[in-house]
Structure 1
Amino acid sequence: MGSDSEAEKKAQKEKEKEKEKKMLALAPIAKPLAGKKLCKRTFKLVRRAAEHKCLKRGVKEVVKSIRRGNKGSVTF
Structure 2
Amino acid sequence: MRTVPKALRFLTLRKLFQAELDRFGDMFVESSKKPGRTDLLKFKIDPGNSSPFKSQPYRVSDAEAEVMESETQQ
Classify the TM-score, shorter chain: 0.3 to 0.5
| Higher relative contact order (CA closer than 8 Å, sequence separation 6+) | 2
Query: Which structure is higher in helix share?
Result: 1
Larger Rg: 2
TM-score normalised to structure 2 length: 0.33
TM-score (norm 1): 0.32
